Structure 1
Amino acid sequence: MKAVFRVARASHLCGAGLSLLAASSAGVHATEGGGSSYPMGAESYMSGAMPPPGLYTQFFVSHYEADSLRGNHGEKVPVDFRARANAIAPRLIWVTEQQVLGGNLAIHAIVPLVDLKVELNGQSQSKQGLGDIIFGPALGFHHSEKLHSIVALDFIAPSGDYDRGDLANIGRNYWVVEPVVAVSYIDPNGLNVDVKTMYDFNLRNKATDYRSGQELHADYAVGWGLGNGWVVGVGGYILQQTTDDRQDGDRVEDNKGRTIAIGPSVKYTSEKGWFLTAKWEQETQVRNRAEGNAYRVKLTIPF
């Protein structure tokens, strides 16, 4: 009976599988199907610094892999599990001349393309295609030469492929409303600190009558500028699910997700205006999620 329960628990953690969404590959999380709509850890340096008015393109490239599932107390779930995910996500940003409340108005959209494979207890499934698109307005503020911030409201659309009976899904099949506050302190010859804080309001999955709990999470980076365009330091993300999931209106207990991820990070800014960030993240302190690691690269290019 315990073995049956453990397999069922693992199936819930995978559920609809690993959701690879937005700008990078995200691992298995708590909430329905063990997934989250936002790609945890996708952002790094400069996340709170809006560029001058104009058009910009970004490209997020990531690889995520996980080989274990963690339960409600951090224990390893005794199942044969493996996940590998690759994603590339172009992002278009339009920073306008329009001023609102003292900040520059901007609009952005991220369109992820995902390659996902999930294996669980001898079963395997792969999917490739469009993930869930992120879009929304933002206001960028420049408080001083070094201190910047962004306030935004993102919407995550259920555009990715989803089937409630599949092991691997690259879509969540529900909308998400996500307020965002990001702050960047930038010194080319000293301390650099970036924190992008988000709160997810997950709406109901109509195919399963399941509503995932709300999630508070933040991407962060802390580094030191070397004065030659390079910044070196650490980065990662923190996630805490704040409310319980609900299935058919009933509360799902002992299912809140939690993770801390950290690893080395670097940034290079060219004299021509483009910049590149790269990092590796190892997940730890995991609850009700897969535990893994990720490699991420972000390239920003002005038109």
Structure 2
Amino acid sequence: MRPLLLAVLACPFALPAAAQQVPQTAQLPSGLNTGGTSYLDGFSRTTPGWAVIPYLRFSRLDAMKDANGDDSPAFNRPRINSTLLLTQIAYATDYHPFGGVLGFNALVPLVNLDASFAANSPVRLRDNGFGVGDVTFGPYLQMLPVMRQGRPVFVQRFELDLIAPVGKFDRNLDLNQGSGYWSVTPNWAFTVLPTPNWEISARLNYIYNFRADKAANPPPIPGFVFRNGKAGDAGWINFATSYSVAPTVRLGINGYYLQQFRDNRTNGIRVADSKQRQFYLGPGGSWQIDQNNILFVNFYMPVEVENAAAGNNLNFQFTHVF
């Protein structure tokens, strides 16, 4: 059983309003599934029943990148540490539309934020401590594997999720667990097995963000009154490949690439040069403990980042099937 969607803390941050003609009041949600999926991602349960997947992710972000991918001079010695404990509950039904298995899943994150900056930093961001993040939920359709010579060679899954803005949110703070607005995120996951021991997996994601009527600590600009904000839509791909080095152990590489398609908007006005880009790579592995339990470990390092905080992050995922 593989995860259906992971809401992980991506921690994207805007440049200070003084550097922009229009202040930025909305940005991509912090709970995007960037790097949360791993090896054999196209597989999940095809018989009726429940699965519980807890995730533990540590992120240490130590750079704030501008639109050119350079360190922003507005921040001196940034340190943004986050710990995410996510619980996913998935249920596969006995309905088989279009030859697949219909299922439902929900993800509830608990997030701890800890930010610090140098005392002389021109801009210092304040965090919201510990709290519940936005909840993700929705249906999925798991297709049955395509078999050749008695073994699977291709499997895929389609999913449509909503992100509900129920997470902890303080208008007076900069870094929150919740985004403050609804989003819809369809995705397509698949796994190809060229050989019995080698697999290639990917998940294509898209997000559309609805308008926000609240903002995190909008800048005190004379004459500016916040009415609404809207994060631009984005697409990204999670990709991984692994090789079975032992009957229960896989080693491989993993990464993700995110590109925001449209700039963010404030009061209906486009915020120039606010689109995010993130490219991360790293090693990983998995251990099949037994038939019902599997552990995944993935490490990600930044390769290219624009308009976002950057740093290393480590993800642990444990899947238990009832």
Superposition TM-score, scaled by structure 2 size: 0.83
- How far has the Cα of 1:119 moved from its partner? 2.5
Pairing 1:55–2:50 present = yes
Secondary structure of 2:94's counterpart equals strand
Is the contact made by 1:29 and 1:36 (CA closer than 8 Å) also made in structure 2? no
Which residue in the other structure is 2:31 paired with?
A: 37
- How far has the Cα of 1:120 moved from its partner? 4.0
Paired with 1:128 and 1:243, the residues of 2 have a C-alpha distance of 31
Paired with 1:212 and 1:131, the residues of 2 have a C-alpha distance of 18
Which residue in the other structure is 2:257 paired with?
A: 238
- How far has the Cα of 1:188 moved from its partner? 8.3
Secondary structure of 2:35's counterpart equals coil
Is the contact made by 1:195 and 1:220 (CA closer than 8 Å) also made in structure 2? yes
User: Rg bigger for which structure?
Assistant: 2
- How far has the Cα of 1:46 moved from its partner? 2.6
Note closer, same or farther for the CA distance 1:69–1:34 as it changes in structure 2 (3 Å cut).
Answer: farther
Which residue in the other structure is 1:26 paired with?
A: 10
Which residue in the other structure is 1:277 paired with?
A: 296
Which deviations, in whole Å up to 9, do the C-alpha atoms of 1:235-260 show, x marking residues without a partner?
A: 12110001121110111111110011
Bigger Cα displacement from structure 2, 125-134 vs 259-268 = 125-134
Which deviations, in whole Å up to 9, do the C-alpha atoms of 1:54-98 show, x marking residues without a partner?
A: 111101110001111111111111212210000111111101110
Which residue in the other structure is 2:169 paired with?
A: 162
- How far has the Cα of 1:121 moved from its partner? 5.1
Matches within 5 A, 1:201-240: 201-208=208-215, 209-240=228-259
Is the contact made by 1:191 and 1:223 (CA closer than 8 Å) also made in structure 2? yes
Which residue in the other structure is 2:274 paired with?
A: 255
Paired with 1:120 and 1:204, the residues of 2 have a C-alpha distance of 31
Secondary structure of 1:285's counterpart equals strand
Paired with 1:240 and 1:203, the residues of 2 have a C-alpha distance of 18
Is the contact made by 2:62 and 2:311 (CA closer than 8 Å) also made in structure 1? yes
Give the letter aligned to residue 301 of structure 2: Q
Q: Quick one: which of 86, 101, 106 aligns to 2:103? A: 106
Give the letter aligned to residue 40 of structure 2: M
Secondary structure of 1:101's counterpart equals helix
Paired with 1:219 and 1:120, the residues of 2 have a C-alpha distance of 31
Is the contact made by 2:6 and 2:37 (CA closer than 8 Å) also made in structure 1? no
Secondary structure of 1:112's counterpart equals strand
Secondary structure of 1:57's counterpart equals strand
Give the letter aligned to residue 257 of structure 1: Q
Matches within 5 A, 1:6-155: 23-29=7-13, 32-33=26-27, 35-53=29-47, 54-78=49-73, 79-80=75-76, 81-120=78-117, 122=119, 123=124, 124-142=126-144, 143-144=146-147, 145-155=152-162
Paired with 1:300 and 1:241, the residues of 2 have a C-alpha distance of 31
Give the letter aligned to residue 34 of structure 2: M
User: How many residues are treated as equivalent by the alignment?
Assistant: 283
Secondary structure of 2:214's counterpart equals coil
- How far has the Cα of 1:216 moved from its partner? 0.3
Which deviations, in whole Å up to 9, do the C-alpha atoms of 1:207-260 show, x marking residues without a partner?
A: 141000001012111111124111111012110001121110111111110011
Bigger Cα displacement from structure 2, 76-85 vs 37-46 = 37-46
Is the contact made by 2:249 and 2:288 (CA closer than 8 Å) also made in structure 1? yes
Is the contact made by 1:191 and 1:222 (CA closer than 8 Å) also made in structure 2? yes
Which deviations, in whole Å up to 9, do the C-alpha atoms of 1:247-300 show, x marking residues without a partner?
A: 101111111100110100101123332111101100121111111110001111
Paired with 1:193 and 1:71, the residues of 2 have a C-alpha distance of 33
Note closer, same or farther for the CA distance 1:49–1:272 as it changes in structure 2 (3 Å cut).
Answer: closer
Which stretches in structure 2 are left out of the alignment for 5+ residues? 15-23, 216-227
Which residue in the other structure is 2:190 paired with?
A: 183
Is the contact made by 2:8 and 2:31 (CA closer than 8 Å) also made in structure 1? no
Which stretches in structure 1 are left out of the alignment for 5+ residues? 1-20
Superposition TM-score, scaled by structure 1 size: 0.88
* Structure (1/2) with the larger strand percentage: 1
Which residue in the other structure is 2:223 paired with?
A: none
Give the letter aligned to residue 290 of structure 1: A
Paired with 1:212 and 1:121, the residues of 2 have a C-alpha distance of 29
